[in-house]
């Protein structure tokens, strides 16, 4: 059975990239793959050969509307109310009608959404299409899921649809979180079938996965990455300056449109790099300093590399908590992420082998999880059945 698989995602790199290995797996197996999201995601989606079904605005318009309604930015002030308004309120209001029209035209056999995309589940309910939800990190705390489900309910009822009782809302949860990072006692509703899905650091199309290895002599190599959204030179620049006092070589990412001169740093130990797949940056790295985006966190630990997590907003505080709890790294609490403290945390990471040992245990758990190809085949079989 050749399926038409529709991926539904919030229009942000960090939300779509964890879905990409599964989308590629479906495509390799001969299925038709499309993505419904904002047209501004074209540069990421078009090279993959997926059909883009444009629907809704990019995050800047969504943040502006949330700011108009609530007076806060959910990226930097991630309260349950603000997060719910962004994902389950404003985005649903400004995206769903277009997404429904696109999906009716495309006629998917299966819809795959990411955990905080609430457009895909509504479309799946309206069309009577089976839904799988991909979780790109540890479980979302109940105070957030409760606010999300409560707010989206009226959007279903306005269309004469039955609203979901919880998150995830569909038949399957595709769980990319290894056991060592998950919250104790995590469970899914009896109506949901949990399927483990091996997370992968983002890699270029067709490129083989790299294999991390210790640096071959010389100074340790440290990756500093604050993702595509939070790479603020006023935050990262002073940090790089403080790290320059350590006997390490640094690779620092620039986000989507940053420039080395923005960081006002002169050091032959810092190599700046524009946005490239994470997999290209992790080889021969001894440690990673990061904001704690879900893709960066899982991709780094999949390689068994310890981390210093300096959360800046969104769900990064959850990732930071779980990394510290697992022993695979250190997390700095809000207000304690000054450059000197981060440098001291990195020194501990490099000096104390227990962090690397714990990260490698998480990496072994990741390696034991079902591959994207295995999960794609299982979903095909169950949808066909």
Q: In whole angstroms, how far apart are CA 286 and each of 97, 156, 218, 290, 337?
A: 47, 48, 12, 13, 21
Per-residue pLDDT of 48-77, as tens digits, reads 999 999 999 999 999 999 999 998 887 777
Q: Which of 93-107, 183-197, 211-225 has the highest mean pLDDT?
A: 93-107
Average pLDDT taken over every residue of the chain: 86
Nearest C-alpha neighbor of 92 from the set 65, 130, 110: 65
CA angle 214, 246, 252 (to 5 degrees): 70
Residue 193 CB: number of other CB atoms within 10 A?
Answer: 14
Q: Where are the beta strands (DSSP E) in 104-218?
A: 110-114, 131-135, 172-175, 193-196
Residues of the chain with pLDDT > 90, as a percent, come to: 51
C-beta neighbour count of 285 within 10 angstroms: 21
Q: Which residues fall within 8 angstroms of residue 10, CB to CB, at 6 or more apart? A: 16, 37, 59, 87, 91, 114, 116, 117
Delineate the domains of the chain, giving CATH numbers in brackets.
Answer: 4-199+369-384 (3.40.50.2000), 221-366 (3.40.50.2000)
Phi, psi for residue 282 in degrees, rounded to 5? -90, -15
Q: For residue 146, is the peptide bond before it cis, meaning its omega torsion is within 30 degrees of 0?
A: no
Q: What is the pLDDT of residues 321-374, one digit of tens each?
A: 888 889 999 988 766 668 888 888 888 999 999 999 999 999 999 999 999 999
Residue with tokens 């769903």: 96
pLDDT classification of 213: cutoffs 50, 70, 90: very low
At 137-162, the pLDDT tens digits run 888 888 889 999 999 999 999 999 99
């Amino acid at each position: 059975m050749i399926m038409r698989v529709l991926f539904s995602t919030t229009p942000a790199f960090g939300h779509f990239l964890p879905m990409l290995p599964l989308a590629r797996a479906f495509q390799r197996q001969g299925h038709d793959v499309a993505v419904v999201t904002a047209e501004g995601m074209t540069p990421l989606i078009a090279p993959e050969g997926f059909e883009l079904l444009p629907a809704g605005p990019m995050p800047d318009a969504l943040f502006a509307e949330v700011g108009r309604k609530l007076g806060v930015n959910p990226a930097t002030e991630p309260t349950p109310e603000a997060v719910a308004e962004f994902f389950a309120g404003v985005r649903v209001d400004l995206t769903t009608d277009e997404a429904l029209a696109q999906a009716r035209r495309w006629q998917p056999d299966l819809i795959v959404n990411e955990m905080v995309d609430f457009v895909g589940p509504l479309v799946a309910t309206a069309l009577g299409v089976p839904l799988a939800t991909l979780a790109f990190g540890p479980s979302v705390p109940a105070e957030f899921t409760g606010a999300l489900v409560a707010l989206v309910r009226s959007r279903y009822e306005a269309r004469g649809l039955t609203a979901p009782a919880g998150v995830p809302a569909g038949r399957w949860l595709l769980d990319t979180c290894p056991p060592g990072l998950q919250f104790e006692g995590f469970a899914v509703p009896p109506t949901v079938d949990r399927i483990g899905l091996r997370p992968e650091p983002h890699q270029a199309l067709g490129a083989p996965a790299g294999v991390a290895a210790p640096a071959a002599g010389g100074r340790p190599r440290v990756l500093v990455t604050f993702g595509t959204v939070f790479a603020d030179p006023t935050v990262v620049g002073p940090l790089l300056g403080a790290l320059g006092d350590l006997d390490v070589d640094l690779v620092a990412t620039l986000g989507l449109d940053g420039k080395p001169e923005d960081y006002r740093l002169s050091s032959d130990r810092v190599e700046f790099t524009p946005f490239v797949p994470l997999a290209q940056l992790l080889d021969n790295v001894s440690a990673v300093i990061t904001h704690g985006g879900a893709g960066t966190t899982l991709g780094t630990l999949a390689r068994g590399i310890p981390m210093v997590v300096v959360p800046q907003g969104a769900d990064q505080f959850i990732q930071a908590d779980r990394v510290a709890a697992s022993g695979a790294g250190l997390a700095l609490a809000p207000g304690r992420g000054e450059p000197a403290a981060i440098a001291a945390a990195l020194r501990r990471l490099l000096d104390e082998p227990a962090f690397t040992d714990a990260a490698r245990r998480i990496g072994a758990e990741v390696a034991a999880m079902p591959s994207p190809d295995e999960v794609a085949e299982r979903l095909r079989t169950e949808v066909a059945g």
